[in-house]
Structure 1
């Protein structure tokens, strides 16, 4: 390495180090660029559609100009009997590939004066019949041999089970089987919902106002998460506890219930005296 190269290397290294952050920032997509992506997609789709339209127009024009030559080519017996020749026939106006050969050859029998022609079935019908055979084989292998999918009876049973779950979720006499939510995001959402909807009656720290204290071990209607879920969802008639069904989603009710359980033993200032029966409720721990 020459003396000049050794002198230039440190400066080149410093220049690269200074440029690298700028390159990293430039590589990161800006919010404006992200917002422009849908518009760019539609522009590209429009350009592609225009190109396809121009190509189709040129194809039709070329086909119209070359139709006499294609017709003469199609009239050749060796070409007309081939499958590719029948495709060519579609371009020159002969739909034999779709409707089949119509020979109009009458068979030598009749029924009460009704005669029968010996014509082939239309190719579209035969191809459709072949497709049904392939479909039947695939269906047999998938549902009966491999048993990878549910048959109609099993689908019916599954749908009935799902319907029963939905009905039980709206049945105030049947408890749900939820577990308390422990994720920090769910507990944060439950705290926000509690502050908005529950704090006017239970206090900002669940210490109790018109409603009971929710931070001690005493409960009027059960302190397990599914009892709390039921109380919040359906309310308590004649006790001032309104039903939040229809106002909060099922997940939001479970978030509020889990947040209330997270307040157990917090002992807020000015807590209301215990009400109900003593019950040790499970306390979810947020997963950070």
Structure 2
């Protein structure tokens, strides 16, 4: 019976292979006009993949037939004391229908304890659960050694900073790049400072006060700055704004020269000490 089944399987495998070969030959004339390249490689890939799947299927069927035919002999082998309690014996028992490898040996066995009608059972933890727990211990030790002891890998914070640095490389490095600081020098010409004062009075005074003493926004005349007091930092703050602090972006409303003019005017107010100045905010800059 076993030899007949093996012969049938071999015949089935040969028939499928012939069918695949015939399909490939039938497609060859239609694809002969196409240039050899990606299509040929994909066809070869799928042919090899289907062949591998067929081989695995035949192997599984063949292995299953062996287990079914030899089940009585395997059961006798499994019942031997030297085999039954070993790990390999548990695998053998799973093949012949004993799920002890998955469920454990003891299940709903009374331990002889009885408290007011409440009995205690002795149930094994499922072996798969215990092995999974052991794997987590090994993983934890390896993780601790790799990341914290040897410091061979980046932790979450360092990995985040690295990804952010890589992301900045994808932003165009032009005048509209908020990550690129300009290299302007403060304007000193009276005409530019007057123009900057006019812009400040019209657009900035409602939040920062007519003399930049600070109202809703911070005081711009002292040595303390939330986002940098150097001319290019002020330029960046005005141009791109700080949404989280309520500072709007003036990009698109003021030209680049106007932003530099008002930035230069603000820089000229340093140390003016206007009346009613708001308390310092941010970090001190000399």
Provide TM-score, normalisation by structure 1.
0.44
Provide TM-score, normalisation by structure 2.
0.44
